[in-house]
Structure 1
Amino acid sequence: MTKAATDGTGNELKGIAGWLYLVALGVVVSPIRVFIDYYPMLNDYFSGAYDSLTTNPNAKSYIPHFETLIKAELIGNALILILAVGLAVLFFSKHRWFPRTYIFLAAFTPIFLVTDLWMAATLIPGAEVLNSDMVGEIVRSLLAACIWIPYMLVSKRVNNTFRRQNK
């Protein structure tokens, strides 16, 4: 049996405390934020707002391959939303899969954003796809990944709270 890490005063580094409070805030806010960003696109897709852009090559506003891009964005955002909700469940149940899932989502998000940007630029030549909002999202997700992935990997509190068998 290994000795648990302590904070120097004899208190075991375990449970939701310290930097995990910031992680908790992100885990709670993230599904809400993703849903708020995702819902208008989902609503537009199912209400037929994209129909002239996706189905009628004779329409003035038709964009070839736009439907492929929209479907890829819908699937990617749905995956991020499902993972964000699942992440909250894993976090508050202190499940051992939380750190791995967090790392996957933190790595997947910037990869998805850059891939989406590349797909939009490739499928819709001449379109201005790189704007300040997109740059901000990519930078934010990369910074979050650079900060929180190493934290999940090396933190003694994360290890004690999520990976160690609780007795």
Structure 2
Amino acid sequence: MIKGKELKGLGGWLILVGIELIFCFIFIGYVTFSRLNAINFIGVWTQLLDPYSEMHTIHLGLFILGDMGLNCLFLLLNAYILFLYFTKSYKFPNFFIIFSSSFIVFKLIQRCWYLFIVLPFEVKFEFSFIKDIVIAIIYTCIWIAYVLKSVRVKNTFVNGRRSDGTYSSTVG
């Protein structure tokens, strides 16, 4: 690596982080809005609330509400993180770590809730679920380590941070 070249800006491996965030935003938005259309929201709710319907179960209704609410929350958080990324805000690394970690926890809770509460009588142990979670954890740990250790990240995401001189002059 060239010693005179300063690692700064949205380049190098940091481009992959940005691409991941953009694709994640598109994917979460697509999943959220396609589920709204696919389940025909009004028809499903009337069947879930009708005690004589075959679909009547409070757990499935709570699962759908919780899933849609958390997907909307993650969509908003992802939009905010994209804003921080492109404005090169000093808050980006912390919010990226929170987003990446909480997304895995959300998926784990979502899957366990679905398996043990919505479908309690269908006992299935799926190795694909464990494999997907382990791969996601490894993938997330790699990117979190990159964000924490990268010189480019430290040099790029500095906008909005108060300098020591500005802070001391306003206090004094």
Name the TM-score class by shorter chain.
0.7 to 0.9
Residue number in structure 2 paired with 1:92: 86
**Pairs within 5 Å for 1:32-47:** 32-44=26-38, 47=41
Check conservation: 2:22, 2:82, Cα contact below 8 A: yes
Q: Structure 1: how far apart are the matches of 2:82 and 2:147?
A: 15
Residue number in structure 1 paired with 2:13: 19
Check conservation: 1:94, 1:162, Cα contact below 8 A: yes
Q: Structure 1: how far apart are the matches of 2:52 and 2:59?
A: 14
Alignment CA distance shift 1:106-1:21 (3 Å): same
Residue number in structure 2 paired with 1:3: none
Residue number in structure 2 paired with 1:152: 147
**Structure 1: runs of 5 or more not aligned:** 1-6
Q: Structure 1: how far apart are the matches of 2:10 and 2:30?
A: 27
How far residue 47 of structure 1 moved from its aligned partner, in angstroms, is 3.0
TM norm structure 1: 0.82
How far residue 136 of structure 1 moved from its aligned partner, in angstroms, is 6.6
SS of the equivalent of 2:57 reads coil
Check conservation: 2:48, 2:55, Cα contact below 8 A: no
SS of the equivalent of 1:79 reads helix
- Decide which moves more: 33-42 or 125-134: 125-134
| 1:76 alignment partner, one of 70, 73, 83 | 70
Q: Structure 2: how far apart are the matches of 1:117 and 1:24?
A: 27
1:65 and 2:65 matched: no
**Structure 2: runs of 5 or more not aligned:** 164-172
- Decide which moves more: 21-30 or 103-112: 21-30
Q: Structure 2: how far apart are the matches of 1:37 and 1:129?
A: 25
Alignment CA distance shift 1:136-1:100 (3 Å): same
Sequence identity percentage: 26
Higher relative contact order (CA 8 A, sep 6+): 2
Alignment CA distance shift 1:127-1:154 (3 Å): same
Alignment CA distance shift 1:159-1:113 (3 Å): same
Q: Structure 2: how far apart are the matches of 1:40 and 1:148?
A: 29
Indicate the structure (1 or 2) with the bigger Cα radius of gyration: 2
More helix by share: 2
Q: Structure 2: how far apart are the matches of 1:27 and 1:80?
A: 11
